Amino acid sequence: MSTPLRVVVADDQALVRTGFRMILTSDGMEVVAEATNGAEAIEAVRRTKPDVVLMDIRMPEMDGLEATRRILTGAPGEPRIIILTTFDLDHYVYAALAAGASGFLLKDVTPEHLVASVRLVRSGDALLAPAITRRLVERFAGRSQAATTVHHDLSTLTPRELEVLQLLAQALSNAELAASLHLSEATVKTHVARILAKLGLRDRAQAVVVAYETGLVVPNSG
């Protein structure tokens, strides 16, 4: 029997935490801790070592953005973090993606989507709704002072890798990338892995941010 996927839920609203706990546990996951602010979330992660953290942005004492930064500056093997928000164009969400969060969800997400999203990021993929992500990055790329993305030298990438990164900026899935480039999904996964390694990125979410912030993709360029 496989080990249950372990989740920490961080939100200052008890109703949200309870609802998410019920949804996740009914699908066989284990909610190993709950937190009401960022400081509690950091402590919960250190204590329980979860696979995934559902992190609200707007919390008292320490917000989810600062908690995300602190959690993801640790040693390898940190959890995947999904940002919870009530606004799909919240600039804090952009900053969280730049800090290493693996994606974001609106709080009115359906139970089915919540479960699928947690499993998706646990598998190593990024949770990026193409339309929302593109609008988000176009709106805030290069303007968020809170963003932690440093300068990345794209000269280390091959022409094919640059092409893949440009398509990643559209938040395409591996299957969509493969179809667009007339490659196998396995080959696409290899290209993506090399891009992340060369640029020192955590996952595809950060790759999207870097593509815009370096000017490889220009907002509203089509």
Does residue 56 sit in helix, strand or coil? strand
Domain carrying residue 14? 6-127
Q: Which residue has the higher pLDDT, 127 or 77?
A: 127
- Whether 133 maps to a domain, the answer reads no
- The reported pLDDT for the residue numbered 100 is 82
Q: Are 82 and 184 in a shared domain?
A: no
Q: What is the mean pLDDT of residues 108-125?
A: 88
Give yes or no for a contact between 6 and 63, defined as CB atoms under 8 angstroms apart: no
Residue 210's pLDDT band, with cuts at 50, 70 and 90, is: confident
pLDDT score recorded for residue 74: 66
Residues 35 and 99 in one domain: yes
Buried b or exposed e, range 28-61, using 16+ CB within 10 angstroms:
ebebbbbbbbbbbbbebbeebebbbbbbbbebee
Number of domains in the chain: 2
Kindly state the tokens that stand for 75: 């040693």
**138 is a domain residue:** no
Please report whether residue 49 resides in a domain. Answer: yes
- Cα separation of 199 and 141, whole Å? 18
**Residue 141 placed within a domain:** no
SS (H, E, C) 196-211: HHHHCCCCHHHHHHHH
Binning pLDDT at 50, 70 and 90, where does residue 144 land?
very low
Confidence check: pLDDT of 98 > 90: no
Q: Where are the alpha helices (DSSP H) in 104-157?
A: 111-122, 130-140
Confidence of residue 95 (pLDDT cuts 50, 70, 90): confident
> What CATH code is carried by the domain that includes residue 182?
1.10.10.10
Which pLDDT belongs to residue 35?
A: 97
pLDDT in tens, 13-24: 999 999 999 999
Same domain, 115 and 184: no
Task: Provide the CA 3 distance to its chain's centre, in angstroms.
Answer: 23
d(CA 130, CA 177): 13
- Asked whether the CA dihedral 150, 144, 140, 147 is positive or negative, the reply is positive
Same domain (yes/no): 28, 86: yes
pTM for the full predicted model? 0.75
Mean pLDDT of 176-185: 92
Residue 132 inside a domain? The answer is no
Q: What is the CATH number of the domain that holds 103?
A: 3.40.50.2300
Same domain, 68 and 122: yes
